[in-house]
A and B are shown apart, each in its own frame.
Chain A
Amino acid sequence: MIRRSTQPKCKTRKSFVRRGLIFIVLIFSFVTLSGIAIADPGSTLKTDSVRAEPYPDAKILFSIAKGEQIDILARNGGWLRIKHTRGSGWIRMLSVKRGQPPKTNSAAQASGVLKLASGRAGTGQVVSTTGIRGLSEEELKSAKYNAEELKKAQSYAVSAADAQLFASKGKLVARRVAYLPNPGN
């Protein structure tokens, strides 16, 4: 409140309009580019280039080392717009890990995962906060065949023609893309 009263008043109506416009454009670009409306924390998984635009051949602004903390501002395809102390730009999505960096060392976190992987973390009777039961291995093993549900599920299946119509409505156009080779081979 104090700050506002000490601030000089806007000289013209034009600047008000301009500020409003910038604000609208900013909101619009966040909403359209991704589901991320505010900056999300993240960190780099490897050394990579930060580029001016979300393209592999775009101008490199600066290089960023592995393990640096960043803010994720937006996503566009396989690229994230990030903010770093050295500036902002676009980086490959797969070079970034989302979320707060682990407070403890990574070994502790890994052991948590291992515990889960070995099935020692819980009783297997998973109850989520929504009150819906989880699916444990035991439950899957002891499940009884439900003919009625299967019949119902099959009744919701659609034809290829129906799917094609649905795709057209969303302006989805089929394109040719080659399968990715196995880099391990």
Chain B
Amino acid sequence: MPNSDRGCGAGCLRRRHKKFLKNRLEAKRHKNEPATDPTATVADAPLVGEISVADEIKIGSEIAGNLLGAAPLIKDIALQNYVNRVGRWVATQSERPDLPWTFAVIESGDINAFAAPGGFVFVTRGLYKLLGDESELAGVLAHEISHVVKKHHLKIFQKSTLIDKGSKLLSKEIDHGKKSQALLGSGAEITSRGLDKDVEFEADRLGIVLAARAGYEPWGLANVLQAISNVGSDNSVALLFKTHPHPDERLSALDVATENSLGELQGGKVLTARFYRLKN
């Protein structure tokens, strides 16, 4: 940040010092964990034993590159920028604000969204077209952000003991394709692999809270789930339904989870006018 010291008064300096002290304290607390990524904050400190944030981002890049091999970006820079702004703002409200968050809308008629470790989030054209306002987009992105924040995919790798093999592989100079093939078995398919049902419910619960924290009307995600439920058993939702609990099941889980928090989950912005609509 250029000129960051300019115009920093006494109060500002005091706050900075306080932040510095806090960071030092937290750094001490985490000193046994290897420092890997200079941009990583304390919140980024590895939850999953051996894997560093830097390796997490590498794994995520492999998967994201593969997914984009299956479905390229929609060629609309204004759209991609818009989605990145909404997504980054929502991610800023999470425990991992400093990941290199990358959001994109990909060319697929399917209704689906994908997350990869390290902060990669993809929404298909089919899902984007179902959205009616910015709070709904925020809700969908918030669900995917929650998977990244909670390291849901990484934990699967760890369970299948791929990580150990993976961290060795990542340091080797081999082709990207081969690397992720060897590492993840099936490349981009991991993003859509059925996570535990509870993990999807958790991402829904976290998602509506992250959207609310970002100042959006929190029920955008629920509204999208209702819209997906209304699509019925179309081919465009086949993979989504295979890998997620049915939207109706997710809605009733949200119903139970939000029962005592209705007061907190009120208000917020919908931003219909600003929502970027696809031309076709």
Contacts and interface: CB of A to CB of B under 8 A. Distances in A.
Chain A: interface size category: 35 or more
Interface in A41-60: 45, 55-56
B33 interface: no
Chain B: interface size category: 35 or more
Given A77-B219, A139-B70, A156-B80, A45 B65 contact: no
A140 interface: yes
A interface, over-half SS? loop
Contacts of A160: 88, 92, 97-98
Contacts of A139: 70
Nearest to A100: B230
Nearest to B185: A141
B interface, over-half SS? helix
A175 B176 contact: no
A44 to B, nearest CB: 12
Nearest to B206: A179
B102 A154 contact: yes
B101 interface: yes
Interface string A112-132: 110111110110001111111
A53 to B, nearest CB: 12
Interface stretch (A10-18, A20-28, A82-90, A91-99): A91-99
Contacts of A170: 134, 269, 271, 274
Given A126-B235, A126-B236, A75 B223 contact: yes
Contact of A179 (B126, B205, B269): B205
A138 to B, nearest CB: 9
A135 B124 contact: yes
Contact of B69 (A129, A137, A144): A144
Interface in A137-185: 137, 139-147, 149-150, 152-154, 156-160, 162-164, 166-167, 170-184
21 contacts: A77-B266, A78-B222, A92-B255, A98-B230, A99-B230, A126-B109, A126-B110, A130-B125, A134-B126, A134-B239, A137-B189, A140-B187, A140-B192, A141-B188, A142-B187, A149-B69, A153-B80, A156-B104, A164-B92, A172-B269, A180-B208
Interface of B: 61-62, 64-73, 77, 80-81, 84-86, 88-89, 92-93, 97-98, 100-104, 107-110, 112, 124-126, 132-134, 175-177, 180, 186-189, 191-192, 198, 201-202, 205-206, 208-209, 212-219, 222-223, 226-227, 229-230, 232-233, 235-239, 241-242, 246, 248, 251-259, 261-269, 271-272, 274, 280
Counting from the closest, the 8 A-B pairs by CB-CB distance are A128-B109, A143-B70, A172-B215, A163-B88, A94-B255, A35-B132, A149-B68, A132-B109
